[in-house]
Amino acid sequence: MVTPEGFLLDVDGVIVESWQPLPGALEAISDLRSRGIPFRFITNTTAKTRRELAGTLASAGFEIRPAEILTAPSATAAYLRANHPGKKCFLIAKGDVDEDLDGVELVGDGGEVVVIGGAEENFTYDNLNRAFRMLMDGAALVSMHRNMYWKTQEGLTLDAGAFLAGLEQAAGVEAVVVGKPSPEFFRAGLSELGMHPEQVAMVGDDVRNDVLAAQDAGIQGVLVRTGKFRPTDLEGEVRPDRVIDSIASIGDLLA
Ligand SMILES: [Mg+2]
């Protein structure tokens, strides 16, 4: 493995679990800082803004600035600024997501880009039909992720991917998906680091959405044996560039 000069780090299952620091994670992050190794956090969550995430991580003892965290909404903003500069965007999402969409003009009608996030009850007939009409008028379709469902304390819960598929089918278009595992998300991380893929390693606990997806973007993929890691992850077709016991061993990658 080539010695990385910078890192992209997953959050859940890598530095925290249930928002509590994993053993050695606080030290690992401060060690990277004292060595002057650049890094960014890269996470698919659309539930919290970067500011809220930084606050939650601060409660866990991490000193992390909101600007050091790439969320699917922040990556979507970077994607929109780069690929649809100045375009009017119609957003279907929930919560304070628009806070992370700096420099993006949001409109209720006449959208030139339809942007989909984890909207839950905001996936109303009215919102979806507006989006459909904009797509039929030639608007581009961009989604923060394509997750079909996730799990809450109440049980499995329908996510944005199902509504996205409906819009794609009806309008005969295909969305650009910006969150993990999309290469676009990793490119946004590289752009924040100001580095080329071969200089960077992605450290995550998800063998597909972190490790394989990073490798597909030309980035080295490092799997940790924490979080959702299972030994069977190493029996599939994905071959991580390195496997480490936890983020506490990140220094080994620099040796
Ligand atoms: Mg994870």
pLDDT at residue 151 above 80? Answer: no
pLDDT in the model for residue 155: 64
Question: Which tens digit of pLDDT belongs to each residue from 168-190?
Answer: 999 999 999 999 888 889 988 99
Does the structure show a pLDDT above 60 at 50?
yes
Annotate 166-178 with b (16+ C-beta within 10 A) or e (fewer). ebbeebeeebebb
Q: How far is the CA of 139 from the centre of ligand 1 (A)?
A: 33
Distance 199 CA to ligand 1 centre (A): 22
Q: Once rounded to an integer, what is the mean pLDDT over residues 159-163?
A: 92
Which pLDDT band, with edges at 50, 70 and 90, does 150 fall under?
low
pLDDT given for residue 62 in this prediction:
97
pLDDT digits (tens, 9 = 90+) for 71-109: 999 889 888 998 999 999 999 998 888 888 988 999 999
Tell me how far the alpha carbon of residue 195 lies from the centroid of ligand 1, in angstroms: 23
Q: How far away, in angstroms, is 17 Cα from ligand 1 center?
A: 9
Task: Please say whether the dihedral angle defined by the alpha carbons of residues 165, 127, 100 and 172, taken in this order, is positive or negative.
Answer: positive
Instruction: Tell which wins on pLDDT, 155 or 214.
Output: 214
What pLDDT digit, counting tens, does each position of 198-240 carry?
A: 999 999 998 988 999 999 999 999 999 998 888 999 999 999 9
How many angstroms is it from 35 CA to the middle of ligand 1?
Answer: 24
Query: Of residues 246 and 96, which shows the higher confidence score?
Result: 246
The answer to whether 6 and 200 have CB atoms below 8 angstroms apart is yes
- Return the percentage of the chain with pLDDT > 90, whole number: 72
Residue 131 CA, ligand 1 centroid: distance in Å: 31
Whether residue 152 is predicted with pLDDT greater than 70 in this model: the reply is: no
Degrees to nearest 5, angle at CA 234 with 5 and 236:
115
Domains, the chain, ordered by start = 6-44+196-254 (3.40.50.1000), 77-177 (3.40.50.1000)
Average pLDDT over residues 46-63: 91
Q: How confident is the model at residue 242 (pLDDT cuts 50, 70, 90)?
A: very high
Distance from the alpha carbon of residue 40 to the mean position of ligand 1, in angstroms = 14
- pLDDT, position 90: 98
Average pLDDT score over residue span 13-34: 94
Q: What's the whole-number mean pLDDT along residues 124-150?
A: 93
CB 74 within 8 A of CB 184: no
Q: Is the pTM of this model over 0.85?
A: no
- Residue 10 CA to ligand 1 centre (angstroms): 5
The CA 92 to ligand 1 mean position distance, Å, reads 25
**Cα-to-centroid distance, 90 and ligand 1 (Å):** 29
Task: Return mean pLDDT, the chain.
Answer: 92
Alpha carbon of 12 to ligand 1 centroid (Å): 4
